[in-house]
Amino acid sequence: MLPANLISTLKALSVTDKPLITATPDKGAANAGAQFEPGQKVQGTVQAQVAPNVFNVRVATQLLQMQLPAFIRSGDTITLQVVSLQPRLTFTLAASSNPVSTPESLSAAARLLSSLSQQPLERSYVRPIQSSPLWTGEKVQPDTTQLAGKLHEALSQSGLFYESHQAQWIAGARPTAQLLLEPQNQLSQGTSSKNMESANSALAAAQTGSEQHAAATSVPEHLQTLVQQQMSALETHQVLWQGQVWQGQEMRWEVSEESPHRNAQGVEEGQWVTRIDLALPNLGGVSARLSFNGNALNLSLGAADAQTRDMMGNASSQLVAALSERGIPVVHTQISQTIIAQDN
């Protein structure tokens, strides 16, 4: 199942389908949210308009400033529901009392997301679009530079970041050919290839904005797991990839963003962590965890077999030196026994 926080948010959106409204209290007001609690419904009287779609609204004993939908006018009475108190007092227009089956109660997109959020996640990891290994060169040992590029492509073309890439494409920063490689633009098995031109035309129509009203009222069956993975990645800040890196060799790859921390100068820095797990024929189960703090690297190597750990220890100084030569200083190295992570 998807994380509870995301599910509750989607449920709220599917019931209300209304925008969130942040409230700014009068100057000098103490704690604007002190008299409210999440979920509470309150009446508001819309008073003077102070800017386009921005009104003073009297709620209980407080005068709050809110940006309201265009159909609201001074003198209207509105019903608001408290969404959150921190970091800002936030409301939404109260949900309609009409049944869920009526057209106004929820949009098709919100209904779809709510439905997907309640389905079991078929798998938590992303698989490559093509079943062939990433490295198909003739050498026994993969070219590490080329393999790194292939891993980048595998994650970039996984479809997890499609909407971001689409925005880049509209801005002219990403070519159409790259966007068409992602699963959202691939036809499901059994679909006639002659319809690819129609898919390409629909993609181009997005630039005009004329198709926005028809956005994703349904998701093809072969993309539903991917949409669930996108929602999970947004909630957990974690991406899992699993596939063949070279012939017969599976690899599990995890990339995650951890909470930022303050450096010695008191500046907050983001922290990225990546981990790979492999079951190698001669070394057994091995793992590598790289944690980036600014420009420095913490390196943790693991192996299930004691002899393999000894080999790692003997070669670790060479690895640290090689990374340093490439401008990646290693501040900490650790070698330990590990249990290789697996996904079903």
User: The domain containing residue 68 runs over which residues?
Assistant: 18-96
Q: At 337, which CATH number? A: 3.30.750.140
Identify whether 90 is part of a domain.
yes
Where does a domain end: 65, 96, 127? 96
Reported as type and span, the H/E element at residue 44 is strand 41-51
Residue 239 confidence class, pLDDT cut points 50, 70, 90:
very high
Of 253-262, 263-272, 291-300, the range with the lowest mean pLDDT is: 263-272
pLDDT, greater one: 299 or 208: 299
Nearest partner of 161 among 23, 65, 255, 292, judged by Cα: 255
Q: Does residue 233 surpass a pLDDT of 70?
A: yes
Q: Does residue 165 surpass a pLDDT of 60?
A: yes
Where does a domain end: 79, 96, 113? 96
Q: Does residue 141 surpass a pLDDT of 50?
A: yes
Task: Give the Cα separation of 251 and 274 in Å (integer).
Answer: 13
pLDDT attached to residue 200 = 52
This prediction's pTM? 0.60
For residue range 85-99, what is the model confidence (pLDDT) as tens digits? 887 888 888 754 444
pLDDT, greater one: 128 or 66: 66
Task: Give the Cα separation of 84 and 92 in Å (integer).
Answer: 10
For residue range 190-209, what is the model confidence (pLDDT) as tens digits? 444 444 454 455 455 444 44
Report the b/e string of 227-236 with b at 16+ CB within 10 A.
bbbbbbbebb
Identify whether 8 is part of a domain.
no
Measuring CA to CA, how many Å separate 138 from each of 13, 131, 143, 246? 52, 18, 10, 11
pLDDT, greater one: 8 or 102: 8
Identify whether 288 is part of a domain.
yes
Q: Does residue 140 surpass a pLDDT of 50?
A: yes
Q: Does residue 24 surpass a pLDDT of 60?
A: yes
Taking CA 25 as the corner, what is the angle to CA 76 and CA 51, rounded to the nearest 5 degrees?
A: 55
pLDDT attached to residue 187 = 59
pLDDT attached to residue 136 = 85
pLDDT attached to residue 190 = 45
pLDDT attached to residue 68 = 86
pLDDT attached to residue 216 = 40
DSSP code string of 77-133: EEEEEEEE-SSS-EEEEPPPSS-TTSTTT--HHHHHHHHHHTS--S-SSBPPSSSS-
Residue 343 confidence class, pLDDT cut points 50, 70, 90:
low
pLDDT attached to residue 104 = 39
What domain count does the chain have? 2
What average pLDDT score do residues 121-145 get?
79
For residue range 54-88, what is the model confidence (pLDDT) as tens digits? 899 999 888 999 988 777 888 888 999 888 888 78
Task: Give the Cα separation of 19 and 83 in Å (integer).
Answer: 11
What average pLDDT score do residues 333-339 get?
90
Identify whether 309 is part of a domain.
yes
Where does a domain end: 96, 128, 159? 96
Q: Does residue 271 surpass a pLDDT of 50?
A: yes
Identify whether 283 is part of a domain.
yes
pLDDT attached to residue 132 = 86
Averaged pLDDT of the chain = 78
Identify whether 211 is part of a domain.
no
Q: Does residue 270 surpass a pLDDT of 80?
A: no
Of 24-28, 89-93, 146-150, 200-204, the range with the lowest mean pLDDT is: 200-204
Q: Does residue 189 surpass a pLDDT of 50?
A: no
What tokens appear for 325 in the block? 């030569």
Nearest partner of 305 among 284, 287, 288, 289, judged by Cα: 284
- Judge residue 64's burial from the number of C-beta atoms within 10 Å of its C-beta, 0-12 exposed, 13-18 middle, 19 or more buried: buried
Give percent of the chain with pLDDT exceeding 70: 73
Q: Does residue 302 surpass a pLDDT of 90?
A: yes
Q: At 73, which CATH number? A: 2.40.50
Identify whether 344 is part of a domain.
yes
Residue 102 confidence class, pLDDT cut points 50, 70, 90:
very low
The answer to whether 29 and 88 are in contact (CB under 8 A) is no
The answer to whether 67 and 81 are in contact (CB under 8 A) is no
pLDDT attached to residue 72 = 83
